[in-house]
């Protein structure tokens, strides 16, 4: 699994990197066929003097790219909510990959008179 963690208007500290890694373990525990993960952490300064923290993740799995983004006032809260969303989408993707159709017994050829 290739992992890229980058920051926009933000320096990615070792504590942030470790926090993201521990949260990603939950996703990889549910679905281990992850090819590539790109995490972007952003701080946006708005005019209302409110600082909005945004976290985005792009997860590349076989056959599909999953993109999730989440904003909050606290970056750690945004990462928590982001990983919850990502976990739900990964479990849903895994569920779609599994074949839930039961093979019905073949019908016997009956001669109609």
Instruction: Return the pLDDT at 50.
Output: 62
Number of domains making up the chain: 1
The whole-angstrom separation of Cα 14 and Cα 43 is 17
pLDDT of amino acid 102: 63
Could you tell me if residue 110 is inside a domain?
Answer: no
Give the CATH number of the domain where residue 20 resides. Answer: 3.30.160.100
The reply to whether 103 falls in a domain is no
Residue 90 lies in a domain: yes
**Euclidean distance between CA atoms 65 and 3, whole angstroms:** 14
Q: What is the mean pLDDT of each run of 10 residues along the chain (113 residues)?
A: 91 94 88 88 75 89 90 91 93 81 58 60
pLDDT value at residue 82: 94
The whole-number pLDDT of residue 107 equals 53
50 in any annotated domain: yes
> Residue 52 belongs to what domain range?
2-97
């Amino acid at each position: 699994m290739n992992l890229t963690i980058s920051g926009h208007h933000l320096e990615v500290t070792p504590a942030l990197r470790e926090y993201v890694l521990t949260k990603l373990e939950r996703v990889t525990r549910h679905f281990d066929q992850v090819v590539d993960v790109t995490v972007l952490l952003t701080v946006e300064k708005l005019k209302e003097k409110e600082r909005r923290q945004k976290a985005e993740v792009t997860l590349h799995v076989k056959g599909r790219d999953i993109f999730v983004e989440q904003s909050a006032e606290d970056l750690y809260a945004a990462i928590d909510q982001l990983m919850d969303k990502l976990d739900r989408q990964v479990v849903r993707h895994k569920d779609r990959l599994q074949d839930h159709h039961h093979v019905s017994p073949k019908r016997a050829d009956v001669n109609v008179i």
